[in-house]
């Protein structure tokens, strides 16, 4: 028996769980499946509306009493490297970039484990095994690349970024790097190099995921010029980061049904939500 996918994607809401960014707050996500022939088009459209991809799912924070998480992207045309960012580029200019199909390797996983144990030992990904890592990398229904950075002399892998290609930019899904090189600022370097990747391919934006005002883990994103954040169903230039702390307030949130009704899809058919 043949089954067909629903014409319009179904949206769901996760159960609340502790927020990994702001102590004492609860996290909830609005999400939908990413599948079928229209997966690339759906990802392109929802990326412009603050959604992120995780394997075969698109999600966006939809917390009951907080709207601190703001989707962030760099406008490539308006980016200018700071002095410290130029130093980071010089420190890492010998690294070689290689973009491949989304295929997980043992070397990637070893670097991933080293990164987690040093930077995120108690995070949600700390227990990820090889099979789960492979799923994170390989389970993608859209145009995705694994961007590797290696030392030219030894061939050692020092940084990796799982990167989606969307119609108006590149989206940095997840990156990790050698943790024993703090002076190299590899995390910053990978972002800087993705700005160059976007520029080389005539793409206007680099999507960085979520910026959370008040979270030290996310503060580095505010250091990039040309940064835009998605607020009130539209992108706006980043102002003073302190101005966004008011987003962590319950009255800034629309009801779930209204949030879903305001999502623009490749077709304009009505949407439905379910909780669970």
63-117 tens-digit pLDDT? 888 888 899 999 999 999 999 999 999 999 999 999 999 999 999 999 999 998 8
Query: Is 74 in a helix, a strand, or coil?
Result: strand
Same domain, 108 and 219: yes
Same domain, 214 and 235: yes
Same domain, 55 and 104: no
Q: Which residues of 101-118 are buried (b: 16+ CB within 10 A; e: fewer)?
A: ebebbeebbebbbebbee
Both structure tokens of 19 = 């927020």
Same domain, 42 and 175: no
In a domain, 77, yes or no: yes
Same domain, 106 and 85: yes
Q: Where are the alpha helices (DSSP H) in the chain?
A: 39-47, 83-91, 106-119, 130-138, 186-200, 256-261
Same domain, 65 and 95: no
In a domain, 183, yes or no: yes
Same domain, 100 and 205: yes
Cα 97 from Cα 150, distance rounded (Å): 7
**How are the residues of the chain apportioned to helix, strand and coil, as percentages rounded to the nearest 5?**
30, 30, 40
Number of domains within the chain: 2
Residues, the chain: 276
Nearest-10 crossing angle of helices 106-119, 130-138: 110
Task: Please give the span between the terminal C-alpha atoms of the chain, in angstroms, as a whole number.
Answer: 28
Domain of 156, CATH number, reads: 3.40.630.30
| Count of Cβ atoms closer than 10 Å to residue 134 Cβ | 17
In a domain, 4, yes or no: no
Same domain, 34 and 158: no
Cα 157 from Cα 150, distance rounded (Å): 4
What is the structure's pLDDT at 3? 42
In a domain, 255, yes or no: yes
Same domain, 264 and 197: no
Query: Is 209 in a helix, a strand, or coil?
Result: strand
Spell out the per-residue pLDDT of the chain, length 276, in tens.
344 445 578 999 999 999 888 888 889 999 999 988 899 999 999 999 999 999 999 999 988 888 888 999 999 999 999 999 999 999 999 999 999 999 999 999 999 999 988 876 556 676 789 999 999 999 999 999 999 999 999 999 999 999 999 999 999 999 999 998 888 899 999 999 999 999 999 999 999 999 988 777 777 888 999 999 998 889 999 988 777 765 555 556 777 888 888 888 876 444 444 544
- List the domain range (segments joined by +) for residue 153: 72-239
What is the structure's pLDDT at 193? 98
- 170's CB contacts (< 8 A; 6+ apart) are 163, 164, 194, 197, 198, 201, 203, 205, 206, 207
Q: What is the pTM of this model?
A: 0.89
Of residues 149, 151, 156, 153, the one with CA closest to residue 176:
149
In a domain, 110, yes or no: yes
């Amino acid at each position: 028996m043949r089954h067909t996918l629903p014409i319009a994607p179904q949206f769901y809401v996760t159960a609340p769980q502790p927020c990994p960014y702001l102590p004492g707050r609860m996290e909830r996500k609005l999400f939908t499946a990413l599948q079928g022939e229209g997966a690339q088009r759906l990802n392109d459209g929802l990326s412009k509306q603050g959604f992120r991809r995780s394997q075969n799912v698109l999600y966006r924070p939809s917390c009951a009493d907080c709207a601190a998480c703001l989707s962030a992207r760099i406008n490539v045309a308006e980016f200018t490297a700071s002095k410290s960012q130029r130093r980071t580029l010089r420190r890492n200019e010998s690294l070689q970039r290689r973009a491949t199909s989304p295929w997980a390797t043992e070397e990637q996983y070893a670097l991933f484990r080293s990164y987690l144990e040093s930077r995120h030992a108690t995070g949600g990904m700390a227990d990820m095994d090889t099979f789960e890592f492979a799923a994170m990398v390989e389970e993608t229904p859209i145009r995705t690349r694994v961007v590797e950075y290696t030392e030219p002399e030894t061939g050692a892998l020092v940084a990796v970024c799982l990167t989606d290609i969307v119609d108006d930019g590149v989206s940095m899904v997840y990156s990790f790097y050698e943790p024993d090189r703090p002076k190299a600022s590899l995390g910053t370097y990978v972002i800087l190099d993705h700005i160059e990747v976007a520029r080389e391919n005539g793409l206007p934006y680099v999507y960085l995921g979520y910026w959370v005002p008040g979270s030290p883990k996310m503060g580095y994103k505010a250091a990039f010029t040309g940064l835009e954040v998605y607020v009130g169903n539209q992108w706006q230039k980043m102002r003073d980061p302190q101005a966004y702390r008011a987003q962590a307030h319950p009255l800034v949130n629309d009801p779930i049904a209204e949030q879903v009704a305001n999502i623009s899809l490749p077709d304009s058919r009505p949407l439905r939500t379910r909780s669970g």
